[in-house]
């Protein structure tokens, strides 16, 4: 065992979360996506009541750490930062919807900061996928009846950052799109606005395909200004 592994194991042993179930998941971190013993079995092993473990299990489920299904039991899930961020973010928005603007600005800074790193990781297939999303969006906007390409909007932005290995960046961005839909910005159907958005998306995608990373970033920055005008003009 090397020093790095020893250090990691030491931290796993010393970090505790004040929850017997969450501490159990930390200590058994190597068993990714594995089945977790039943609450009865855990109760005997951890010397904690089933009722207390049931409460802790709900916390773990809300954080996306485990899934609970009838007949199949409790299973560990791959770690994602998004559920924890989403929970806190939705609580904040429920108390003050204006806080979405703050999170929107945070998201912009994250994407600008990681733009070069993210685009440099995209494969030729990824880049063609961006163009396919553009085509799908235009098909919806130019169809009869017109349809809002909100799924394509989220997919387009997340696809650009899909190769980043930073789980926290991905989680923060995923939570943004959850909030974007929760505050119903995806339901506004002003055609002029949507057309301008997708013209920018196409420009961004084509510059990425052409290898013009800096040009794609500048187009992205210009594109992000649209949401401010859209929010200001949106009927109250």
Domain count for the chain: 2
User: How much is the pLDDT for 70?
Assistant: 86
Of 76, 98, 128, the one marking the end of a domain is: 76
Rounded-to-integer distance, Cα 124 and Cα 53, Å: 48
Burial of 126 (C-beta count, 10 Å sphere; 0-12/13-18/19+): middle
Lowest mean pLDDT among 10-14, 66-70, 80-84: 10-14
- Whether 106 and 142 map to the same domain: the answer is yes
Answer with the one of 76, 110, 125 that is the final residue of a domain: 76
What gap in Å lies between CA 182 and CA 218, rounded to an integer? 28
CATH code (residue 164): 1.20.120.530
CATH code (residue 60): 1.10.10.10
User: Residues 206, 210, 215, 218: what is their CA dihedral angle, to the nearest 10 degrees?
Assistant: 30
Same domain, 126 and 173: yes
The residue ranking higher by pLDDT, 32 or 119, is: 119
Q: Are residues 8 and 92 in the same domain?
A: no
130 plus 223 within the same structural domain: yes
Tell me which of 52, 76, 100 is where a domain ends.
76
Q: Are residues 224 and 169 in the same domain?
A: yes
Domain containing residue 52? 3-76
Statement to judge: residues 29 and 68 lie in one domain: yes
Is 115 found in the same domain as 48? no
- Check residue 174 and give its pLDDT: 97
pLDDT digits (tens, 9 = 90+) for 91-124: 999 999 999 999 999 999 999 999 999 999 999 9
Same domain, 36 and 57: yes
**Confidence band of 72 (pLDDT split at 50, 70, 90):** confident
């Amino acid at each position: 065992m090397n020093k790095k592994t020893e250090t990691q194991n030491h931290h796993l042993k010393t970090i505790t979360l004040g929850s017997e179930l969450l501490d159990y998941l930390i200590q058994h971190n190597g068993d990714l996506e594995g089945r977790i013993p039943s609450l009865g079995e855990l109760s005997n092993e951890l010397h904690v009541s089933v009722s207390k473990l049931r409460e802790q299990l709900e916390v773990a489920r809300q954080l996306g750490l485990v899934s609970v299904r009838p007949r199949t039991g409790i299973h560990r899930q791959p770690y994602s930062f998004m559920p924890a961020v989403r929970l806190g973010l939705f609580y904040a928005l429920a108390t003050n919807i204006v806080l979405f603007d703050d999170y929107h600005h945070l998201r912009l800074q994250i994407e600008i900061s990681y733009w070069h790193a993210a685009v440099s990781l995209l494969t030729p297939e990824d880049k063609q996928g961006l163009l396919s999303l553009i085509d799908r969006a235009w098909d919806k906007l130019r169809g009869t009846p017109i349809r809002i390409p909100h799924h394509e909007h989220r997919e387009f932005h997340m696809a650009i950052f899909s190769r980043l290995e930073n789980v926290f960046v991905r989680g923060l961005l995923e939570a943004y799109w959850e909030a974007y839909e929760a505050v119903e910005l995806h339901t506004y159907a002003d055609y002029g606005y949507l057309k301008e958005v997708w013209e920018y998306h196409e420009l961004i995608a084509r510059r990425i395909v052409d290898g013009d990373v800096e040009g794609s970033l500048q187009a992205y920055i210009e594109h992000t200004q649209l949401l401010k005008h859209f929010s200001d003009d949106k009927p109250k």
